[in-house]
Chain A
């Protein structure tokens, strides 16, 4: 049984998870909805997840897979719209730049999106990214290259990007 408190784990990860999913989905309301789903999964399986080497990696991986599912995304959007309409004030409109960034990232293929979020938002290393996405490190490198090419073509970035972690 894990010694970590699942509630504290969820509190610590929540902000980062919503941020990742906001970039991945291009929509913050949907991202918050999906983040709650993911945290509920982690909570429900805490007996197993809590003793993993990296519960965070499992949670991020689950988040990306969840977001990739079209059906879940649509129903989450509907629930999010209902929530926004009843319980929550409408969020402040994004700046033009922020929306452009989200649109550019959301236009990437799912695996490219996940790699960009992991490498440049979560600042994970190649090895850590490979662990989150359960793929080979070579795949992470190749996918990063392809994603950067697309982002350069979109005009979002001009110059080759240096990553702060190896």
Chain B
């Protein structure tokens, strides 16, 4: 009976999709997330993290997130007085863009607003619950629109939550707060300074109003709101770096503001058609800050791969196609999307892949670093990105924050974390002594290392990431942290430690195998070459098959535990052990075995023999002794 049939029979059974069960789980997770969001704010405040929305002691002010005093916020009756009088804004700590979603309830029973992809409008009524009836629209569906079609709940923390559903399962949720209960009104004092949109467009309230460094008139703010007296003549300013449309749009923001609120380092402008959110300059992190170079957790060591590294790509919008992150911690890699809001980075884990590790290695590395949750919040403070999960805190630093080494600091012997030697030579070459291989040349230009010549017949082992960088890469970014050197081509990060002692002597067994494989014209593959004592293991591909070669000092005869043995003409022995077919032979004082490395189907014996023949001819063997 085939394995497929065995598995099918063993897995069979009646099962039906239970939507109610799924519904309960989603609701449970949402309640837990709201509770954790409040707890997270309290924890970050206690840690003194900068840039986090702070709870104030002033009764006249309310923070954006008011954590629960005891337990979760409790529902309260929805009244017309609670709804009317100010617009409701979607929680801006969740959104990462300048234009916030909002809705405003009018006393005449109508409502207006704006979602991410369309303008909102319709009627509202308080019956047994709040019912919104949207006006006719042929515009595309938006998540906020879906949420507004669901159940509304007003809570004693001032939040208004809408939960949309499909077949009774929650699918869209929107949490809104009254604008007039956020922060404090904009005044001449707290408005002064420069504010920046998510696209980096600056708006400065100084002696005059400046947008993108260009003058646009005068401004004042009083009890009636923000007023600007100016014109669009500033568009002709030579200092302008953003496009005309963006600058014009920003001018319209400030000239059509009906209400302005300052919430710590955020400025909220309510205009006729939109709610604009700006950040005070110097307090925000841009997407470019995060994507410029890999972030390294330098306090955590991971043997061969040296340090956990976090890489960001995209614009931080949270869209899967536009914002991706990857955290590599050795055995495990987490990946997903990321959303930037102020100086906080919301990591949404979509998958994690467990690499080729033993269970012990997994446990060990998991203890050093790990993401236990599907959504993790990181804060950025200068050159530090901090992820806190429970009691664990991981601090990352960008590679760009490490100073570039001088030429004198770079020249000399270095060693990979697993002990292989790399030397930057005074004359400009790079040698890897363990493999008698020398790359051509290198040049140092600030924080850039240029490999100028790849050298001839130089096959670097694939043991450490550094060799992958030095062989094919031309331009590397480097940074020196004490006696540790970081190198990256933007995707791969490698580490070298300054060698205080002579480099490790090459393992003769591995040297033997590497040379023979190179002479055969085969490609190394499948597993990292390994040597710990006198023996070595190397994988290689030849004739479309993957082989595993193992070399160890010959002691006594060839392995006695082979069954069904027969001696081949080349002097090797072919037999079977617990893992399959093996060819074994002696060469130059070593016992070498060759077997299949992968098996969707076994390697034909003639292919195995052919590989063994090639290897014997390539190796510096004396007369092959009688294996018996």
Contact residues on B (Cβ < 8 Å of other chain), bracket: 35 or more
Contacts of B94 in A (CB 8 A): none
CA distance A10 to B337 in the complex (A): 23
Q: Which of A15, A48, A133, A161 lies in contact with B2, CB distance below 8 A? A: A161
B577 to chain A, nearest CB (A): 11
Apart from A58-B351, A138-B525, A156-B3, list 5 A-B contacts with CB within 8 A: A28-B13, A43-B26, A94-B10, A145-B597, A157-B3
Q: A121-B4, A149-B580, A153-B578 are in contact. Are A36 and B21 (CB under 8 A)?
A: yes
Contact status of A65 and B352, CB under 8 A, knowing A123-B4, A144-B600: yes
Chain B 24-45 residues near chain A, CB threshold 8 A: 25-26, 29
Given A101-B7, A117-B7, A157-B3, answer yes or no on A18-B351 (Cβ-Cβ < 8 Å): no
Chain B, range 327-368, C-beta contacts under 8 Å to A: 333, 335, 337, 350-356, 359
Q: Do A145 and B17 touch (CB < 8 A)?
A: no
Contact, CB under 8 Å: A133 / B353: yes
Please tell me if the beta carbons of B7 and A120 are within 8 angstroms of each other in the complex: yes
Sample 7 A-B pairs with CB under 8 A, ordered by A number.
A23-B11, A101-B6, A116-B7, A117-B7, A126-B600, A145-B596, A161-B3
Please give the residue numbers on chain A whose beta carbons come within 8 Å of chain B beta carbons, in ascending order: 1, 6-7, 10-11, 14-15, 18-20, 22-23, 28, 32, 35-37, 39-41, 43-48, 51-52, 58, 61-62, 65, 68, 91, 94, 97-99, 101-102, 105, 109-111, 116-117, 120-121, 123, 126, 133-135, 138-139, 141-145, 148-149, 151, 153, 156-157, 160-164
Which A residue sits closest to B357, measured CB to CB?
A111
What is the minimal beta-carbon distance from A85 to any residue of chain B, in angstroms? 16
Q: How far does the Cβ of B139 sit from chain A's closest Cβ, in whole Å?
A: 13
Nearest 10 Cβ contacts at the A-B interface: A19-B11, A134-B353, A141-B598, A101-B10, A40-B25, A145-B599, A14-B17, A40-B22, A98-B10, A121-B7
**Contacts of B320 on A, CB cut-off 8 Å?**
48, 51-52
Give the Cβ gap from A117 to chain B, nearest Cβ, in Å. 7
Q: Mark B580-615, 1 if CB is under 8 A from A, else 0.
A: 100000000000000011111110000000000000
A154, B168: Cα distance in complex, Å? 47
B456 CB–A CB distance under 8 Å = no
CB contacts (< 8 Å) of A37 on chain B: these are 25
B189 near A: Cβ within 8 Å?
no
* Bound: A117/B10 CA distance, A: 11
Q: Which of chain B's residues have a CB closer than 8 A to the CB of A65?
A: 351-352, 354
Q: Does B128 contact A (CB under 8 A)?
A: no
Bound complex: CA of A120 vs CA of B11, how far in Å? Answer: 12
B107: Cβ under 8 A from any A Cβ: no
Residues of chain A contacted by B17 (CB below 8 angstroms): 7, 10-11, 14, 39
- The verdict on B527 contacting chain A, using a C-beta distance below 8 Å, is yes
Verify A18–B15 contact, CB threshold 8 A.
Answer: yes
A111 near B356 with CB under 8 A, answer yes
Given contacts A20-B11, A120-B7, A144-B598, A68 and B354 within 8 Å (CB-CB): yes
Q: How far is the CB of A137 from chain B (nearest CB, A)?
A: 10
Q: In the bound complex, how far is the Cα of B140 from the Cα of A32, in angstroms?
A: 37
- Asked if residues A135 and B355 are in contact (CB atoms below 8 Å), the reply is yes
- Determine the chain B residues whose CB is within 8 A of the CB of A6 once the complex forms: 166, 171
Given A39-B22, A48-B350, A98-B10, A141:B166 Cβ within 8 A = no
Please state if A62 and B15 are interface contacts (CB–CB under 8 Å): no
Q: Is the CB of B353 within 8 A of A162?
A: no
Bound form: Cα–Cα A1–B374 in Å? 21
Docked CA distance A89–B424 (Å): 71
B169 within 8 A of A: yes
Asked whether any CB of chain A lies closer than 8 Å to the CB of B18, the reply is yes
Contacts of A149 in B (CB 8 A): 578-580, 599
- Interface pair B13/A18, CB less than 8 Å apart: yes
A1, A20, A36, A143: the one contacting B22 at CB < 8 Å is A36
Task: Determine the distance from Cα of A11 to Cα of B15 in the docked complex, in whole angstroms.
Answer: 10
- CA–CA, A37 and B28, complex, Å: 11
A162, B11: Cβ atoms under 8 Å? no
| Given A134-B333, A160-B599, CB of A44 within 8 Å of CB of B26 | yes
A52 vs B527: C-alpha distance in the bound complex, in angstroms? 31
Tell me, in angstroms, the Cα distance from A48 to B339 when the chains sit together: 14
Judge if B12 is at the interface, Cβ distance under 8 Å.
yes
Closest to B6 in A: A101
* Chain A hits for B313, CB < 8 A: none
Query: Once the chains are docked, how many angstroms separate the CA of A164 from the CA of B70?
Result: 59
Chain A residues lying within 8 Å of B335, measured Cβ to Cβ, are 134
A47 near B12 (CB under 8 angstroms)?
A: no
